[in-house]
Amino acid sequence: MDKAMRKLTWLGAGIAGVGACVQSCLYNVDGGHRAVIYDYTRGVLPDVKGEGTHFRIPIVQRPIIMDARTRPRNVHASTPSKDLQTVNITLRVLFRPVPEKLPQIYTQIGVNYDDVVLPSYTFELLRAVVAQFDASELISQREIVSQQINELLAKRAEESHLLLDDVSLTHLTFGKEFTHAVELKQVAQQEAERARYVVEKAEQIKQASIISAQGDSQAAEMLSTAFQTVGDSLIELRKLEAAEEIAENLAVSPNVTYLPGGNKMLLNVGAR
């Protein structure tokens, strides 16, 4: 009985040892990640392991898991413009490593390559590009500025085996003095627009008065010509038309009483 128990114990220990050995020989790579193998005898191997379960030599090889997904990175910078105005700028970069170049990235930079590479040369390029534009040009030509930064940053990222999916300016402000000057300029422009509107309105009123005066002058000239042609007949005609209009208005008024002519109107009043 004791021999059987000892055999079972040794068998269980052997199975556990084999399981531990097999477990130490396998490793998993999650989705969106890659594995770089560091061999203690040969250094970093050139092969990159994809997603899934893989075999390694225990003790001799060590897998290094690296993120290969697209990730965002915001880089902030405060730098002077061409006219020496302080510009606060934020650049948003979507980047990912070239999967085949992960062994070189690990060897040259390390696992935290985004913390080492991106902030340094992104800040350098921001200073170089912003220094080429005045503060007003940075506002009016924002797309051109963003395009230049994108092109230069893509070239630098390629040297570090990185791919940029998107580069955009998300924040662009200036110092207090420049912002105050811009606000004053906008107020002055609004006042100028208001003054121009007042001037244009006065000019329109003036033109209307001139046209009205010209019309009155032409009407008076036409009347004078008519008087010279027909004499006083036109005046008499206007008098008759005015009298006719007055008579029509009085005829419909309830407060007007017509009395017969002559002095015999009250002849029989009071007679007995």
* pLDDT of 270: 46
CA 250 to CA 213: how far, in whole Å? 35
Q: 160-197, pLDDT tens digit by residue? A: 899 998 888 888 887 666 666 666 666 667 777 777 87
Closest CA relative to residue 24, chosen from 4, 46, 51, 54: 54
Secondary structure of residue 82 in the 3-state scheme: coil
User: Mean pLDDT throughout 203-220?
Assistant: 78
Q: 57-88, pLDDT tens digit by residue? A: 888 889 999 998 999 988 888 888 888 888 88
* pLDDT of 272: 43
Q: Within 13 Å and on the Cβ side, how many CA atoms surround 265? A: 6
Q: Is the pTM of this model over 0.85?
A: no
Q: What burial class does residue 63 get, using C-beta atoms within 10 Å of its C-beta: 0-12 exposed, 13-18 middle, 19+ buried?
A: middle
